[in-house]
Amino acid sequence: MAVQAPIVSVIMSVYRAELAWLKQAVSSILNQSLTEFEFLIYNDGAAENITKYLHSIDDQRVKIVGDGTNKGLAARLNEGLAAATGKYIARMDADDISHPTRLEQQVAFMEQNPHLTASSCAYRLLPSQKIVMLPTNTQHCRDTLWFTSPLCHPATIMRRSIISDLNLRYPDVPCAQDYGLWLQLAETSQLSNLKQPLLDYRQHGDSITHRSFSKKMAVLQQLQKPLLTKLLHREPTKAEQWAHSLSGTPQRPATLAEWQTLLRWVITLLTKLPSIYAKTFALKFLLRKLLNR
């Protein structure tokens, strides 16, 4: 009798993890209302106590992969994309919490919208409890890609057939790997988000996003350069790349000259961007920097 393929392959990489938070993350997947999934957990050089816990998980849906070698997040996620057997691929991080019906609701959403390649959902920040909403309109998601990712990466679900057919892989960069993946889909695929918050996203000082502020602007400039070249019909200058990459980090201009550079760039965006939504995003981006938000 043939083994039935799972509906969803959930991929998680574990490196620096708090044991208590990891247990919450794993439990939140194992207790999903949708039960037909495989859970691929990659040990990317985790501490001994974390490794011991991973190998103690007693659930046949869980597969612990890796010998403890630290290969980096992008490499591990790409291994997961290649190994997944589910109709859909869902992401999960080792310090977040999926709500009990997350997979069920996301699979239903993808089934109802066969034109979508990937989607995510609104999410709740921990410990602040703030709800973060994301664009639900597919065109608004595409417009957001001019600046940043329109999806919440640890709450993402992807259609495996398209990922496989296009041979898509995460770029080998130290952060913003998801943004690099979605940029590969910008021309050919549609993205969206559920309005319901289905993930608790933990903010803490050791998170990848927090640790990578010093590197993130350089990564964003690398990822965004082809996009800006297409927009401008020429290569962007280093100053333009720097100004644009500010949209993806909390960094603010430090001098009058830098503020002037940013203002000139926003004016350029207002003349070049193709939609009102994208132009409005550029204005909000400038306003956030002015108000330090």
pLDDT computed for residue 204 by the predictor: 74
Measured distance CA(238)–CA(230) in Å, rounded: 16
Measured distance CA(281)–CA(275) in Å, rounded: 10
pTM over 0.95: no
pLDDT band at 1 (very low <50, low <70, confident <90, very high): very low
75 in Cβ contact with 51 (< 8 Å): no
Give the domain ranges of the chain: 8-209, 212-291
pLDDT computed for residue 264 by the predictor: 96
> Nearest Cα to 46, choosing from 15, 72, 13?
15
pLDDT computed for residue 235 by the predictor: 97
Residue 158 is given by DSSP the state E
pLDDT computed for residue 67 by the predictor: 81
Number of helices (H), then strands (E), in the chain: 12, 9
- pLDDT digit string, tens, across residues 264-283: 999 999 999 999 999 999 99
282 in Cβ contact with 269 (< 8 Å): yes
The SS3 call for residue 159 is strand
| Cβ neighbours of residue 283 closer than 8 Å, sequence gap 6 or more | 266, 270
pLDDT computed for residue 216 by the predictor: 84
pLDDT computed for residue 205 by the predictor: 63
Residue 206 has pLDDT above 70, yes or no: no
Taking domain 8-209, whether its CATH number is 3.90.550.10 is answered by yes
Q: Which tops the pLDDT comparison, 208 or 201?
A: 201
Angle subtended by helix axes 48-56 and 19-30, to nearest 10: 20
- pLDDT digit string, tens, across residues 68-121: 899 999 999 999 999 999 999 999 999 999 999 999 999 999 999 999 999 999
The SS3 call for residue 95 is coil
- pLDDT digit string, tens, across residues 10-66: 999 999 999 999 999 999 999 999 999 999 999 999 999 999 999 999 999 999 998
9 in Cβ contact with 90 (< 8 Å): yes
